[in-house]
Structure formats: C-alpha cells, structure tokens
Chain A
Amino acid sequence: MENLRELYQQVILDHNKNPRNFRKMEHPDGFAHGNNPLCGDQIDIYLKLKDGVVEDVSFDGNGCAICTSSASMMTVALKGKTEAEAKALFDSFHHALTEDTAYPDDIPLGKLEVLKGVKDYPVRVKCATLAWHTFDAALRKFQGDISTE
C-alpha cells in the first residue's frame, strides 16, 4: 500500500491532474490511435517531425491515472529527440517496466524513472506503456509514409 501510495503520489498528483501537451494537433505528421480494450483506455498521439527530430508531440483521450500521466511525461521526454533517440528511449522504458534484468544499453530514463514502480503491478504495465506503443505506431506510420513516397 505504501509503495502504491508513493507511486501515485509522485506520478499522478501532478501529471494526471495537469497533463502536459494534452491537445489535438492540426495537420500532424504522424498520428495513431491506441486502445486498451480491457480497461477502456483510449489515446490519440499526434506528432510533428522536422529533419528527423520530434518537434512536437501531443495526446488526447481518456485513460486511468497511470495511462494519462505516462502519456503526459512521454510527450515532455520526447520533444527534441531524434527519431532514433525516441525509439531507443521507448525500448529502454519498455524494458524497465517489463524485464528484471538491466537494459544492455541503458539509456537514462530521467523523470520517467518514477514509472518503474508500475512494474510491481503487472496488470497495470500496459496502462503505462499504451502511450508509448501508440507513439511508436504513429512514428512507424510516418516513416512508412515516407518510405512509400
């Protein structure tokens, strides 16, 4: 219970109540809809890229506190990252929440570190990773669009 309280206190009190970059985006370069049918979490990720760098990323939707705050923190963490850096951060974050071993090429998670506590609540891991998977899908779509052009 204490762990849980701590996890939520660090994460939700701020980001759940005041999610950052919580807005639709006009004319995004990348867009994907994420859906967690088990709990009804729905999230849209919008993305703008310039010269291979994430210039802007925002989200919209409806989810639990872990989902919302993770999405909010993700948008903050991703801005200014190159596509490759963003992808590496996703891998590192995903690894931290799902694996016991240290990540081989450990990339510092920075503020995302607090979400590692979610690992103790296995059924909630997908709440924390939904935004990231959706971002990944948006990025792939963008990349796919480019490569087919």
Chain B
Amino acid sequence: MDISTFTWTIFAILAIAIAVAVLNFLGNRTKKDTFLLLGLSDSGKTSLFLKLRYGSLVQTHTSMKENEGHFIINDNGIPLVKNPIHIVDVPGHEKLRFKFSDFIPITRGIIFVIDSSTCAKNSRQIAEYLYDIFAHKNVKNIPTLIACNMSDMITALPPERIRTILENEINHLRKTRTSGLDHQDSVDEVEYLGYESENFKFEHLENEVVFEKCSVKDGEINVIKEWIIDTLQGK
C-alpha cells in the first residue's frame, strides 16, 4: 500500500473524529433536551416511549437496556414543537436502575411512570425509587412529572390518592434512610428531602413535581406531551 494514502487516510479520520467530538461537547453543554422515563418495572415506560415516538401500541417485555431516541413530539404525525428532543427509557429492574444517574447531567425533565392499579401494593418500592431520584445530588432543579399510568384499569387509584400514599411512604423512608449504617468509605452526598420538622410533602421539594393521570393503552397521553412542551419552553 502507498504510504501517502495511508497517512492521508489517518489524518482525515483524526480530523473528523476531533470535529465530531468538539461539536458533541459543545452541543451537550449548550442545551439540555433529554427527558428520562423512569419508574418500576412494568409501569409502562417502554410502551409510553413507543407511543410517543410512533403513535402506536407495541407488545413489550422487560427491558434489559435503555431505549433512546431523538424525535419530535407529535400528534398523529403532526409536529407539536420544532426541534427533536432526546427521550431515554431507563429499565425499571432494580439492578439496572442506577443507569439513570448517567443521564442526569443532560436531563431537562423526568417523567416518572407509575402503574396506578398496583400502586398501593408497591408503594414502598415506588417511594424508594423516588427517594433515590430526589436525594440524588444533581436532581434538585429538574422538573418531574409523576405519570399515573394505566388509568384505564378499574383498580386504578386517582393521582391525588397516589400522592398521599407516596408522601406517607417517603416520610418513613426519610427516617430510616438517614439512620442507616455508614457506607464503607466516603460519605455519599445525598440531599435531605423536604423539611425536617414537617411531614414530607412533594411541594417541599425544590423540584417542581406534578401528578397527572394517563393511559398509554387508551392513548391518553396528551398531558404528558403538554408537560414536555411546557417544560421545554420553561413555562
């Protein structure tokens, strides 16, 4: 092979790689357009992701890996905003959740999906996940929508009720988590949720937290789209 072709090829590739890296870096710094779909396993995150993206209902199983994509929030194909946003569906399995914190630095908003029909039974698990999210040191200012999914089920609880259940549960967790044993070496930086003297309420958080009911199955997800758009526009 010709030496000059060789050098030239390498040079060109390096140049492109650097350009891409720089653009990427700048891009990440200037705009946060990532929305995270979080929540327990089987709450309907992947279904919601697919519904938002393609407008249709698709059969799903437990996720082992994130689903992510850049796309424009649309209503039956009609774009509702100009620019595509980045949506990441993080698997809800306990062993895979930790991935969410990788995305926090670029996150504009969190959509926490709950199965309203099993919420009472799973309240502790839901609250523990929420606790981990809100106590994360960099989540303080990220607006959060608690999407109470599966409202089509007869057993679904209304968002108001879910809110109180979770507040009670987080109230307990606040006590037990702060008196747990130390971690092996360094102290973890976690935030105390709410006010020490009062029972926990979501409005005590610095984050804006909204509860809405929705049903991916029945296509009732307009509240979610509206919330995303409002959050993007800084409302």
Do A and B assemble together?
no
B contacts, CB < 8 Å to A? none
